[in-house]
Structure 1
Amino acid sequence: MKNVSILSLKEGYKKKEFSPVDITKMYLDRIHQSQDLNAYITVTDDIALKQAEIAEKKYIANEATGILEGIPLSYKDNLNTKGIRTTSGSKIDEDFIPDDDADIVHTLQREGAIQLGKVNMHEFAFGITSNNPFYGSVKNPWNKEYAPGGSSGGSGAAVAAKLGLASIGTDTAGSIRIPAASCGVIGLKPTHGLIKAGGVKHISWTLDHIGPLTQTMDDLAIILEAMTGGQYTSSLKEDIRGIRIGVPKNYFNEGIEENTARLYHKALQDLESLGAVLIEIDIPFSSEDLALSFGIGIAEAGFVHEKSIVSTLDSFGLDVKASLEHSHAITALDYIKALKRKAQLTEQFEQLFEQVDVLATPTTPITPQGIGEEMVEVNGVTDSVFNTMIRIPAVFDLTGQPAISIPCGLADNGLPVGLQLAAANHNEKILIHAGYAYEQAFLKTFYDKRNNLI
């Protein structure tokens, strides 16, 4: 299972060294042998093998034209899949079987992707631990006593443990990047609206994003091409001399635990050693601004779940129930004010990205916490794990700019730490360029350790 990538699989298929059926069976076997991770809610063995057989015939006939032809991956369980139950990690939707695929599922299956199944998640994507009361807690492959992050925790765990080559998740306040950082993989939250969101069980249409989690930067670039029809693999370049990297003077560098801060500053030094230019920069954001994302998200979630709040409120998990009960308290005036400030912040960050090409921050202020832990102390300050983990990544859900998390090492407790890179709207290419250069120069040893997880 070492050094498997989209390109290596496709090359092996073409040379008849192995087949899509062989590879799909291998991944399905790994999934069933790793049930203790609780990464999957539904494994679609029969569908995956049928899709693999179709891909195999295409390779035999030299008609394999899809970008992801024969590539096995998974989908977060809030993405609709035709004829396959889509629970959103909830009791309420435990028997929901969609009539159609989500837009992104349709797009990737059209490109030949093989669907291994639906991965576990925090209920209705409302949290960042993936401690699910109905389908069980997802476990972190680096240490099964710890959470994998969330809400796309099943995606992060599945990719890290090689239970699929990639996974498609959603991100409202960091829900792709938090599990990517927690599980030591790569996760991209693209520009808001870049990827069609039809057929997704939203928290907030204003804040929600769809994006990939992958093992490597080249896989991410290829999958993003399949998702969007754009050209991203040309940005896989190792020369970043002259790229301006913003180093925050405030907000993003506050309240960071010692291990995370150490590895973050080491990553900045590494980027500078590659020829990047580090520029200190003021950040136009505060804790008061972060509260706006709560107001927008909870207000819109109250609308999305309006019928269930009235009819089946007690069927929600306790944390989700508490959030939804609060939704009615948000006034129309508060909601409109938050949207106005959101637009202002987006413009202010666009102006910031005229001064620098990329902004570099820790992905999260802390490493993953133990399963079931809800509070954490950082530098003498105690807060909820939720508030602490989202404080950095949620900024770019509010502003909409693209942001990626890539591994930058292991903390003293043996758990991964993530480096977040953000850029101007629709400038995913610079993130891929900078991330790839960093990966190629500094992540080989980390990847070797990740390959030996399971």
Structure 2
Amino acid sequence: MAHYDLLTLRQLYIEKKVSPSEIVEDYLTRIEKHHGFNIYITVNAEQARRQAAIATQRYQHQDPVGPLEGIPVAYKDNLLTQGLRTTSGSAVEKNYVPDHTAPAVQVMQQAGAVNLGKLNMHEYAFGITSNNPFYGPVKNPWNPEYTPGGSSGGCGAALAADLAVTTLGTDTGGSIRIPAAACGVVGFKTSRHHISAKGTRPISLSLDHVGPLAKTVSDMAFLLGIYDQSDYLTGLKRDIKGVRIGVPMTYFQQYVEPEVKAHYEKALKQLQDLGAILVEVPVPVNQDHIGTLFTLAICEAAAEHAQRLQEAESLFGEDVLQALRSVAQFTPMDYIYARQEQQRLTEQFNALFLDVDLLVTPTVGFGMQKIGVDTLTLGGDTHDLFSATTHHCAPFNLTGHPAISIPYGRVGENLPIGLQLVGAQLNERLLLQVAYAYESAYLNDFYMQRKQLALL
């Protein structure tokens, strides 16, 4: 009974061809069947059934229904949910039950969504593999020997495996877009503050974003409209004639394997065929800016976790503990300079978007690595996997510009890859438009392949 995207399922509810109770029961059965993929930390079965029953009654009696009435969703486990365990993927907070709910979650719940539960993630969102030492490594549904990316790995994997209709994650250096790319779904890091990041277990107040992952661009447009009461869906069209797309000449060529480069060059030609104008542009970002991001993330995360480290240091995973301890290398002046550099880079990208409408890059320059692997070998050289994976995404956490990842192919051992579109501040509408045009023209076959995953 599963495999529905959000908009299709919503229409089936309205036409009374299926009921929320039937759909939610099917999802709960599927979640149990595939528990070995470590996608969920907490399954919210009892409440989900109650919510589904209420939604079913509303559709049957033609009562007013919310835009997400009866839609099964799931949340990254660092988004606070009142009365439901929120571990942040940690052992430190394995029994933590919040007394309030994150505003971004509230929006979905108030729209009628059914809460299936909380999704696995990299511990405290500190990594890009979702190899969680306490709740098991999240497995990529396309190939379970490989990671689904991170830190919102459960969010991407749940959609690829069809264990939720949509999910909500967080992004500090690519943590929505990386799993979206790795799992062959759509992920949107909206403009800073476009969706509230309050009510999360944060890494960095300067960098954190909250945003949805979805099965299609149309679903994503519908979801964003719920957050800001805009109609993104009606205006979607397949024509992007005259849109000026910047093709970066620098920085974004690093950490790109030949197979991904070939897909990227093909995608550029496809965008051109849809009417876009390609413009080669220099970009203001360089490798030093990743150091800026690291400074902000570590200093702010160390402040967030200072008390937990004092009380329960032995319960932290080794990679997170090492990252937090590295705060000792920074001074207050380092932090101040990093904030100043963040502002300069933001202004430079704002100026760039006066010349082009958006940028297009690979989301990640290679397919995901096997579970347990922490390095990347590319062109005979060995690189740190974290740095290589976040390379294309992280600059836009510094600047706060909106960025969406859409699927555009597979490489290696049946591993999806993603195309990243980046726009001017608060120009989510144009990103959705270009993503929708590309999806409509080129992704039907990919979506059919996603439905045929061996997991299902």
1:192 aligns to what?
192
Moved more, 304-313 or 392-401: 304-313
Whole-Å Cα distance in 1 between the matches of residues 329 and 288 of structure 2? 18
Whole-Å Cα distance in 2 between the matches of residues 178 and 19 of structure 1? 33
- Shift of residue 121, structure 1, vs aligned partner: 0.1
Q: Give per-residue Cα distances to partners, 1:275-328, cap 9 Å, x unaligned.
A: 111000001010011110000000000000010122222211000000111123
Whole-Å Cα distance in 1 between the matches of residues 220 and 452 of structure 2? 21
SS of 2:419's equivalent in the other structure is strand
Structure 2 residue 229 is the aligned partner of structure 1 residue 232: no
Q: Give per-residue Cα distances to partners, 1:14-39, cap 9 Å, x unaligned.
A: 22111110111111111111112110
Q: Give per-residue Cα distances to partners, 1:345-383, cap 9 Å, x unaligned.
A: 111111111111110000012110000001111123211
What RMSD in Å do the two structures reach over aligned CA positions? 1.1
SS of 2:349's equivalent in the other structure is helix
Q: Give per-residue Cα distances to partners, 1:236-267, cap 9 Å, x unaligned.
A: 21111111111010101223111111111111
1:390 aligns to what?
390
Give the alignment of 1:23-422 within 5 angstroms.
23-422=23-422
SS of 2:167's equivalent in the other structure is strand
SS of 1:288's equivalent in the other structure is helix
Whole-Å Cα distance in 2 between the matches of residues 182 and 5 of structure 1? 19
Amino acid in structure 1 at the alignment position of 2:187: G
- Shift of residue 229, structure 1, vs aligned partner: 2.4
Amino acid in structure 2 at the alignment position of 1:367: G
Amino acid in structure 1 at the alignment position of 2:33: Q
User: Against the structure 1 CA distance between its residues 143 and 84, is the aligned structure 2 distance closer, same or farther, given a 3 Å change threshold?
Assistant: same
Residue pair 1:402, 1:427 contacting (<8 A) in 2 also: yes
SS of 1:246's equivalent in the other structure is strand
SS of 1:53's equivalent in the other structure is helix
SS of 1:234's equivalent in the other structure is coil
Q: Give per-residue Cα distances to partners, 1:132-184, cap 9 Å, x unaligned.
A: 00000000000000000000000000011110101100000000000000111
SS of 2:187's equivalent in the other structure is strand
Whole-Å Cα distance in 2 between the matches of residues 209 and 64 of structure 1? 32
Residue pair 2:24, 2:49 contacting (<8 A) in 1 also: yes
SS of 2:438's equivalent in the other structure is helix
Moved more, 171-180 or 404-413: 404-413
- Shift of residue 95, structure 1, vs aligned partner: 0.4
- Shift of residue 3, structure 1, vs aligned partner: 5.8
Whole-Å Cα distance in 1 between the matches of residues 23 and 424 of structure 2? 38
- Shift of residue 66, structure 1, vs aligned partner: 1.1
User: Against the structure 1 CA distance between its residues 389 and 2, is the aligned structure 2 distance closer, same or farther, given a 3 Å change threshold?
Assistant: same
TM value normalised by structure 1: 0.98
Percent sequence identity is 47
- Shift of residue 2, structure 1, vs aligned partner: 6.8
Amino acid in structure 1 at the alignment position of 2:362: P
- Shift of residue 452, structure 1, vs aligned partner: 0.6
Residue pair 1:167, 1:212 contacting (<8 A) in 2 also: yes
Whole-Å Cα distance in 2 between the matches of residues 376 and 288 of structure 1? 20
TM value normalised by structure 2: 0.98
Residue pair 1:235, 1:430 contacting (<8 A) in 2 also: no
Amino acid in structure 1 at the alignment position of 2:359: L
Structure 2 residue 434 is the aligned partner of structure 1 residue 434: yes
Gaps (5+ residues) in structure 2? none
- Shift of residue 413, structure 1, vs aligned partner: 2.5
Whole-Å Cα distance in 1 between the matches of residues 252 and 50 of structure 2? 47
Whole-Å Cα distance in 1 between the matches of residues 183 and 376 of structure 2? 19
Whole-Å Cα distance in 2 between the matches of residues 299 and 231 of structure 1? 39
Once superposed, which parts of structure 1, at least 4 consecutive aligned residues long, lie more than 6 Å away?
Answer: none
Q: Give per-residue Cα distances to partners, 1:74-96, cap 9 Å, x unaligned.
A: 00000011111000000000000
Equivalent pairs, count: 454
- Shift of residue 5, structure 1, vs aligned partner: 2.1
Whole-Å Cα distance in 2 between the matches of residues 429 and 32 of structure 1? 37
- Shift of residue 235, structure 1, vs aligned partner: 3.8
Residue pair 1:2, 1:451 contacting (<8 A) in 2 also: no
Q: Give per-residue Cα distances to partners, 1:399-451, cap 9 Å, x unaligned.
A: 10000100010114311111000001100111100000000000011111100
Residue pair 1:255, 1:379 contacting (<8 A) in 2 also: no
SS of 2:353's equivalent in the other structure is helix
Moved more, 412-421 or 180-189: 412-421
Residue pair 1:129, 1:149 contacting (<8 A) in 2 also: yes
Residue pair 1:186, 1:406 contacting (<8 A) in 2 also: yes
Whole-Å Cα distance in 2 between the matches of residues 6 and 165 of structure 1? 6
Moved more, 1-10 or 175-184: 1-10
Amino acid in structure 2 at the alignment position of 1:82: Q
Whole-Å Cα distance in 2 between the matches of residues 155 and 276 of structure 1? 31
